[in-house]
Structure formats: structure tokens, C-alpha cells
Amino acid sequence: MKLSLNWIQEFVDYKLERGAQELGDFISLSVAEVEEVEQVGVALAQVKAIKVLSCAPHPEADRLQLATIDTGSEERTIVCGASNCRPGITVPFADLGAKLPITDKEGKPAILEIKKAKIRGVESTGMLCSEAELGLADSAEGILEMDDSIPAGTYLNTLEQYQGIEDIIFEIDNKSLTHRPDLWGHYGFAREFSAMFDLDLKAYPGENLELKDNGFSLKIDADDCRRYSSLRVKNVSVSDSPQWLQDRLNQSGINTINNIVDLTNFILLELGQPMHAFDIAKLKGQDLIVRHAQNGESFKALDENDYSLTEEDMVIAIGGQAEALAGVIGGDSSAIDESSNEILIECASFKASAVRRSATRHGIRTDSSSRFEKSLDPENTPLALARIWQLIKELCPDAELVGGMGDFYTQAYPEAQIETSYEFIEESLGCEVGKDFILNRLNRLGFDIEGDLKLGIPSWRNTKDIAIPEDIVEEIGRLYGFDNITPEALHTEDKVPQVNQARILERRLKDILSNGYGYTEIMTHPWCGDDELKAFGLSSEGLMTLQNPVSEDAKYMKPSNMPKIIKAVSENLKHFNSVKLYDFNRVYDTSQMVQELLPSERYQFTGALVPKSAGKKDLQTEAFYELKSTIANLLQVAGISTWQLSDYKDAPEWVHPGISCQFRRGRVVLAEIFKLHPAVAAKNKIKSNAYLFCVNFDELAKSKRKLKYEQVSKFPAVPFDITVQAPKQALAGDIQGLIRKGGGKSLLDVEVFSVYEREEDKTVSFRMHFAAKDHTLVHDEIHQLQKNVVAAILKGKYEIPNLPDDLK
């Protein structure tokens, strides 16, 4: 919203004693955010009228002239390019050093500083100005010719004709006014000035109107109308508005239409109260009903669009026809035009939510609806009507009231009082502000003060804005200046902070993945769409579905992060020949709902490893096993020391069935790793071997990391090797399990040290160590352990070639 300082000064005797920007900052700190400060007419104070004495052609350029001028104190010759420059005329002149705010070629504000310049070889000191250069017009032909009676040397801002043009316009951020219905007009800001600078606020102009029948019958048949006031005026002459009125509207960015419509908009800008005028001759009757629309009722608005209304909309129906969409926009059929003679002025108070819903439903945002949405003070309607009547009389001297003010006030806000205390205010701020200051400012803001400290809330702050003692703290704090409060350290006694173990684990695992194993973290969006689901063989059934997605491919909350990872791999392979990345993110599991409506959000690490394709070794198996050990290490860091490896059960289509496994604890899947299925790889244009992983972080976070120290054994470990013959697809892990069983407590460790693939089967060689905790194993014990291990393996139906007789 644009705010004119001149306009504010009509209601409060504020003298500008600081820079415009500084005042803007002060408003930002005390009331609402000033986004921009524009100084209008600043050129006028820097430019004086001069007389052109003579003109001579420029020796080097046909289009330029050398003008000798009388500045009032001296004669000077300057270069001028205007074709209307000629001896005898009085024109504005900007001397060296003047800084004129202009609009540059791109339409952006800029400063034109007048400097000494050589123009085609001739020195020029100063510039003759056009209206555009003075900021008086958007564009201009030639220099401005002024009245010859103006003496040379007169500064333009002292001239009668330019009085009132110098102004400061503050552009206020509308968002910072959401809670302040009273600040949507200049008068409300004038009240803030009165409180900010301790100045008297003038009463809002206009004489009280008499309540009297005006011939229109009124019925309110909708709960969302608090008050409906009206004024009937005849003998108005509709024409263009006078300049001052046009200027006021233009300044605020509102188009001028005609004097009556402009006056309603003027009040909107001054008091913040929307109004509407109907041409009585065009109305179909004199019975006015505020009611809900019928479903499908059609309405042609002033914007010349046809709207189909619903029963949730509220209309002003006159003679049975909807003439206005309440609080939003007036109707086309009863619009004021040059022929209008008798008018009905509506000044009502509608409920915020109803207006907001109507405006949103039909996509019409007007200056009226945006004000009603803030919950306007219904006490304003008689003020607004009194003021407009005062101005109509000024503009149309023949105008007459028919009857008096019609007023239907069904829902006043109950008067409200806040009980608080000086101590509460000062303690809440943490600062001694002083009783006098508090009293003075609350008084200026219009509070009704009683005792120590009961506050009657003024009607314009009583619609939703102020209700509790904390609101008073804010009023005093902002006017005192939050910057003037001395910061004070928290006195809160520190309890031993509870540590969020899951977040610590998250960071630890990220640290290991990134700084240890060289994976880079990426972030992906939580959404997916039908295309993505379909491409990866997933169903949209039961997923969390957005009513208002930004786009179709962001409609559901993703049930798996793998599609995002696969896409990231595919994209990154365009730029890199190897990829190591992961995403720490959530997936949204709707199979188990929380608080009925919410999915279980499961934290996962999902990621991918694409090894460099240029290499010498068997990269395929190497990368898989590298990834396997990485994941195993993550589990261990999380405090999980044992798990089972199993086939990937119920594998999605992106999992290679033969090169994949799950880390499980019973039925719980801790993590899974797999090679990307070649078919999915091909579909996603991934030519390299890609290995992917998923770690179910929530399961890891459940586990407590416990480090248990065991004494370093003093007794030697005895090695034992054995080679087992097994079918090709036998799992070495299964045989290891048998060995562990056979070795029992004395088996220290067992590992595979070679696998030899043969035509029909394979041999797997294991190395293990035996040791006892409390003594050195003797020969017989060792022999027995070896026999136990062998027996366990044989029992598992594996063969042991070349088995020595003594172990059979």
C-alpha cells in the first residue's frame, strides 16, 4: 500500500525533521515494513526559473543551440537541445550539482546529476528542464515554458502552482498489515504518527449524519453482514474529478473513473473503508436485501466478467437482482456514469472470512476485498458516509440528501477490556519504560484508560487485533523501540541437555559415508507422480495424495526413494564416469498410519555406487563386496553387531535377483544392497554397472551402541584351514555358519580365503582360529575342535575333499 506523507499531515501536525529514508526506517521499526521510499517533487527545490536572453547556433551541431540565460544573479551560456528554446521565454533551470530523480530508459528510477560537461566541443554548465525531468510528467516534448511574470532566480517549490506536490510516498508491505485493519487507510497511519511522535490527532472530517428513512427498505438475510449503512443523494453531476482528487488516486495507483466513484475510492484510501455507489435510475426496485446467492445465480461485475455464484456467496440484491458481490465488487448494470443523477452509496461491514472465500472462489482480488479480509471496524461506516457527503457537496454543490443515513447494525463487536499492569509490561519487555510513557502512548493509540491498568480497546483495534495483555506489550515495545531494550542473557538454569541420539547417529553415518567412503550427499524432493511410479512398477494405490500439487509429477508422497536415486545416477553419469551418492531422506509408508491421517515417515539412507568403468580387476564382484562392507560397517557403527544375510525377498523390479542381499535381524530388514537390474538400467540409459543400497535408519537408531571391552588374550590362537566342496550356488555364509556351530566358543574367527569355481561345482577354503580364554589349547583339544568342525560341515551335506583319516 502506498502512503502519502502529505495526506497523513492533514490529520496530524508532523514536521519532517529527518531524512525521508530515515523516517521510512522509523515507520518500519515502529509500525509496519516500509519497502520503498519515494520522494516526489524533490526536483522542484533544486530548480529555479530563468529567462532565455538570446540563442545562437552551436558551431558543431545543427540540433543544438547555445543559449545565453539570466539566472537571476548572473548571465551564463549553456548548450540546449530543445527545439522550443528561444529568446524571451521563462524556463526551469537545473544548476551544477542538482540531482534530479528521473526514470531511465528501462523505466527504473535513476538520479540525473548535473555536472560540467563538454557537448560537442562547447562547455555547458547546467541544464534547461522539461516536465519529465522535473518529475511532473512521464514524458515531455521540449523544455517547460513557464509564466513570464515569474522573476528569474525563483525556486520552483516556492511557486503557488507547485504547492502540495512535494511529498514522500512510503510503499508499505501489505503482509505486515495483515493484522491491522485500521492501517489500510491514511487516517490510521496518522494515528500511528500521533503515537510515534506524541502529536495530537485531528478528528476525522465530516459532520454526523442524521438517521432517517431514505426510501429504500433494507433486510439483512445473511449472517456474514455486520452492518449495512447507506446514503441516498440526488442531483449529483457526474464528471471528471478535480485535479487534487485525481492526484491522490494516481499516487496510490488507483485509476480515476468519475468524481463519484473516485470519491468512494478516496475514502477507501483515507479511512480504509470500502464503499460502493449504485445509480438508482438503473435499479429494478427499492427493496434492498443482503442475502446469500442462489447456486448458479449469474452476476455481471464491474470488470465486465460474468460470474456464476454459489450459495456461499453473499450479494446485495435490489429489486430482486444481485447488484453487488458483497465486499468484493459491484455490478455492471447499476454502475455510475455521466448520466447518473441520483445515487445510493453503500457503506457496509462484512465478515472477513466470507469476503475472503468469495474473492478466492471467483479469483477476484479488489482493494475492497483485501480490506474486508482484515476484519474492518463496523464503527467506521457512519464516519465514511459523513466524509463522502462532505466531499460530494464540495464537488457537486447542487447535490441533496434524500432522507438521511440508513443504518442496519446487527452485529456490533462487544466492547472489550484488557486487565494488565505496568509491571507486566515492563517485565515482559525486560526493560523499564516508565509509567508516563506507557500512559501517553496508550492514550495516543485511543485506549480508554482506567486505573492501574484497565484498558478499553478502541473499536478499530477490537475486531481481532488486540485481545490480551501481550498485545499491549507489543504496542508499548514497538513505540518505545525494541532497539532501545538492553539485551539480557538468559537466566535459565541449564539442565543436562537431553541428547538426540538418532540425530547424532545420522550425522555420524553421513560423516562416514562422505568423509570416509567418499559418497556425496544429495537431496531429492518428497513427491512423485504417476509417470514415475509406472516407470518403476509401483502402484499409486493408498499413497498420500495432494489435492493441490504444484504439478502432476509431484502429486504423491513417494513410497520409495529408489526411483529418485536411479534417476540421479542416470543424470550424473552424463557428467561423470563414476558416481557415489546418497540421500538421507524419508519415505512415506501408508501401510501403517499414525494419528489416523498421517503416514509412517521412515528415515532411510539410499544411495548408489557406480565404480569407474576403466579398471583391471573383476569390478563387478569387487564393487558389490565393497558396498557390502561399507554397509556392514555402518551397521556396526550404529551398534548392531550381528545380523543375517539373506536373499532379497519380495524384490522390486529394480533389484538384480542374483546379485543382491538383505541384512536382516529376524524379520526386520536393516539394510539391502543390490545391483541395478539390467532392464531398469537400460530403461534409464545407465550403461555402467550400478550398485544401490538402502539402509533403514530407524532400525539402526533403535539400537544402542555399546562398546564392550574384552581382555586381550594371553593364549595363542591356533590356525586351521579347510577346503569344502559345494554346489555352485551354495552360500559360503551357510558353511561359515556350520563351522561356527562346530567350533563353538573356542572358535575365534573364520573367514573365506579362496573360492575356486569349477565346471560342476566350486571349492571354498576357510581359515579359522581356535583359542581358549583361560589356557593354551593342548593337542587333544585342538584335534577335537577340528573334528567337531568337520562333522558339522559334513552334516550340512557338503563334501570335504582330501580329508585326513584322523578327522573323519
Site for another protein in 566-595 (CB under 8 A): 567-568, 571-572, 575-576, 579-581, 583-584, 586, 588, 594-595
Strand partners, 332: none
What does the DSSP 8-state code read for residue 308? E
Q: Are 137 and 165 in contact (CB under 8 A)?
A: no
Minimum distance from residue 352 beta carbon to another protein (Å)? 6
Q: Which of 203, 499, 707, 712 binds another protein (CB under 8 A)?
A: 499
490 binds another protein per the rule CB under 8 A: yes
200 binds another protein per the rule CB under 8 A: no
Q: Measured at the alpha carbon of residue 286, what is the angle toward residues 284 and 287, in degrees to the nearest 5?
A: 105
Q: How far is CA 383 from CA 200, 251, 390, 701, in A?
A: 19, 23, 11, 65
178 binds another protein per the rule CB under 8 A: yes
Q: Which of 14, 20, 25, 152 binds another protein (CB under 8 A)?
A: 25
Greatest Cα-to-Cα distance within the chain, rounded to the nearest angstrom: 134
Strand partners, 221: 291
386 binds another protein per the rule CB under 8 A: no
542 binds another protein per the rule CB under 8 A: no
Q: State the DSSP string of 577-606.
A: SSEEEEEEEEEEEEEEEETTTEEEEEEEEE
Residue among 21 and 417 whose Cβ is closer to another protein: 21
Strands 306-308 and 298-300: antiparallel
Minimum distance from residue 470 beta carbon to another protein (Å)? 4
470 binds another protein per the rule CB under 8 A: yes
179 binds another protein per the rule CB under 8 A: yes
Residue among 179 and 762 whose Cβ is closer to another protein: 179
Strand partners, 644: 664
203 binds another protein per the rule CB under 8 A: no
Minimum distance from residue 345 beta carbon to another protein (Å)? 28
515 binds another protein per the rule CB under 8 A: yes
535 binds another protein per the rule CB under 8 A: no
Residue among 139 and 498 whose Cβ is closer to another protein: 498
Helix (H) or strand (E) holding 239: none
Residues 137-166 that bind another protein (CB under 8 A): none
Residues 670-699 that bind another protein (CB under 8 A): none
How far apart are the C-alpha atoms of 324 and 69, rounded to whole Å?
60
471 binds another protein per the rule CB under 8 A: yes
How far apart are the C-alpha atoms of 59 and 470, rounded to whole Å?
75
- Round to the nearest angstrom and report the end-to-end CA distance of the chain: 96
What does the DSSP 8-state code read for residue 499? P
Strand partners, 10: none
How far apart are the C-alpha atoms of 486 and 490, rounded to whole Å?
13
Minimum distance from residue 236 beta carbon to another protein (Å)? 37
Q: Which amino acid is at 708?
A: K
How far apart are the C-alpha atoms of 46 and 127, rounded to whole Å?
12
Cell reading at 532: 514415475
Q: Which amino acid is at 16?
A: L
Minimum distance from residue 507 beta carbon to another protein (Å)? 6
Query: For the CA atoms of the chain, what is the radius of gyration?
Result: 42
Q: Which amino acid is at 572?
A: N
429 binds another protein per the rule CB under 8 A: yes
Minimum distance from residue 533 beta carbon to another protein (Å)? 16
Residue among 203 and 468 whose Cβ is closer to another protein: 468
Tell me, letter by letter, the H, E, C secondary structure of 757-783: ECCCEEEEEEEEEECCCCCCCCHHHHH
Cell reading at 378: 463496523
> Helix (H, G, I), strand (E, B), or coil: what is residue 484?
helix
Minimum distance from residue 546 beta carbon to another protein (Å)? 5
Q: Which of 28, 39, 125, 421 binds another protein (CB under 8 A)?
A: 28
Residue among 178 and 410 whose Cβ is closer to another protein: 178
601 binds another protein per the rule CB under 8 A: yes
Residue among 94 and 476 whose Cβ is closer to another protein: 476
Q: Which of 2, 478, 508, 767 binds another protein (CB under 8 A)?
A: 478
How far apart are the C-alpha atoms of 279 and 256, rounded to whole Å?
18
Task: Sort 43 into a burial class: Cβ within 10 Å, 0-12 / 13-18 / 19+.
Answer: buried
Minimum distance from residue 544 beta carbon to another protein (Å)? 5
171 binds another protein per the rule CB under 8 A: no
547 binds another protein per the rule CB under 8 A: yes
How far apart are the C-alpha atoms of 781 and 776, rounded to whole Å?
10
How far apart are the C-alpha atoms of 209 and 146, rounded to whole Å?
45
Q: Which of 95, 166, 474, 626 binds another protein (CB under 8 A)?
A: 474
Residue among 267 and 565 whose Cβ is closer to another protein: 565
Q: Given the rule CB under 8 A, which of 51-59, 336-344, 464-472, 623-631 is the region that contacts another protein?
A: 464-472
Q: Measured at the alpha carbon of residue 242, what is the angle toward residues 238 and 247, in degrees to the nearest 5?
A: 125
Minimum distance from residue 549 beta carbon to another protein (Å)? 7
Residue among 567 and 740 whose Cβ is closer to another protein: 567
Residue among 628 and 769 whose Cβ is closer to another protein: 628
Q: Are 457 and 416 in contact (CB under 8 A)?
A: yes
Q: Which of 118, 495, 667, 779 binds another protein (CB under 8 A)?
A: 495
Residues 648-667 that bind another protein (CB under 8 A): none
519 binds another protein per the rule CB under 8 A: yes
C-alpha 109: how far from chain center: 27
Residue among 104 and 799 whose Cβ is closer to another protein: 104
106 binds another protein per the rule CB under 8 A: no
Q: Which of 33, 145, 342, 761 binds another protein (CB under 8 A)?
A: 33
Minimum distance from residue 585 beta carbon to another protein (Å)? 9
500 binds another protein per the rule CB under 8 A: yes
549 binds another protein per the rule CB under 8 A: yes
Residue among 191 and 580 whose Cβ is closer to another protein: 580
432 binds another protein per the rule CB under 8 A: no
35 binds another protein per the rule CB under 8 A: yes
Site string for another protein, 341-380 (x = CB under 8 A): -----------xx--xx--x------------x-------
Minimum distance from residue 356 beta carbon to another protein (Å)? 6
502 φ, ψ to 5°?
A: -65, -40
Q: Are 750 and 742 in contact (CB under 8 A)?
A: no
Q: Are 441 and 476 in contact (CB under 8 A)?
A: yes
237 binds another protein per the rule CB under 8 A: no
